[in-house]
Amino acid sequence: MKTKRFVYLALLAAMAIALNLFESAFIGSFAYGIRIGLANIIALITMRFLGVREMLAVNALRVIIGNLLRGLLFAPSFFIGAGGVILSSLVLVILNRTASTVVFTSVLSSLAHSAGQLLVVILLYHQPGMAVLLPYLMLGSIGAGILTGVTAALALKRIEPLRLNG
Amino acid sequence: MTQPWIRKREIVLIAVLAAAALTAAIFFALPKQHSGVTVRIEQAGKLVQTFDPAVDAVYHIEGSCGGLDVEVKNGQWHVINEQCPNHICAEMGWRTAEDVIPVTCMPNEIVIYVGERE
Ligand SMILES: [Zn+2]
């Protein structure tokens, strides 16, 4: 069922982009630029439901199309976002090889997302002093990671019947 | 999927990370010394933040155009990560308590100026 798989992938990518735009428009960021990262829910679902390669595709599409739609492709925010997504995707790939649970995976990938963004900010603006934000970002990421992880776990339970046979 | 949502040892690991972050956050938030100078930040005519330039920190200020961050270091401060079209605020560079001209970001309606002196 190659077509079905491709349709799921396209749907998940569209949902990730929509959640990203929705969050930017209606929720925005809290202190220190902390965001919930709703699109991470889709990354987790995609990895558990379709696989690692599909998750990487959804994440790449999310960053590129998401920034394209906001007219910010290759703007600083694009590189900051990309830094976060690359590092969080890496953590997802690594944890997928272990027996980690959805919520734990979500928390660690959320932490990696913040760390990746902060790293790009520090390099882009030559501001090593920004590293003092790390503890606050970590606390925000743990909270956000639990939230997105529980949401992803709930969603995965519901979509289980849709799973492709083989 | 028979996997639980989260395991005990994963909760322990997350708790350790959270405790470390909290400790570091509290450590950074501790007041170091006082300069006797208070810098004020206004947004749309309202006081939104004050800071002591002797305390190194980064303050995020929400603005009409997406806001900006004020980085304070070694008794000086400047604007970074500004979400404004002209970036004049950041180009004003590092300011000290001796500076009379406030740092202004018109698109964000943010003004950063030296307030009280003891
Ligand atoms: Zn400005």
User: How many separate domains does chain A show?
Assistant: 1
**Residues of A with CB below 8 A from B77's CB?**
none
**CB neighbours (10 Å) of residue A101?**
19
**A135 Cβ under 8 Å from any chain B Cβ:** yes
| Residues of chain B falling short of pLDDT 50 | none
Interface TM-score (ipTM) > 0.85: no
Q: Can you tell me whether residue A164 is helix, strand or coil?
A: coil
Packing angle of the helix pair A76-96, A102-125 (nearest 10 deg): 150
Rounded to the nearest angstrom, the distance between the alpha carbon of B53 and the centre of ligand 1 is: 20
Distance (Å, rounded) from C-alpha B90 to C-alpha B41?
A: 15
Antiparallel, parallel or unpaired: β B57-61 and B68-73 = antiparallel
Q: Which domain holds residue A65?
A: 2-162
Q: Is A79 on the interface with B (CB under 8 A)?
A: no
Which amino acid is located at B76 in the chain? Q
The DSSP annotation for B16-44 comes to: HHHHHHHHHHHHHHS-----SEEEEEEET
Q: Do A101 and B6 touch (CB under 8 A)?
A: yes
DSSP 8-state assignment for residue A26: I
The 10 Å Cβ neighbour count of residue B12 is 10
**What pTM value is reported for the model?**
0.69
Q: Under CATH, domain B37-116 is a member of which superfamily?
A: N-utilization substance G protein NusG, insert domain (2.60.320.10)
CATH number of the domain within which A117 lies: 1.10.1760.20
B8, B14, B59: best to mutate for the A interface, most A CBs within 10 A = B14
Residues B63-86: pLDDT tens digits? 998 999 999 999 999 999 999 999
Per-residue confidence in pLDDT tens, chain A, 166 aa: 688 889 999 999 999 999 988 888 888 777 776 788 899 999 999 999 999 999 999 999 988 888 888 777 778 888 888 999 999 999 999 999 998 999 999 999 999 999 999 999 888 877 777 788 889 999 999 999 999 999 999 999 999 888 865 4
From the list A88, A87, A75, A63, the residue with the least C-alpha distance to B81 is A75
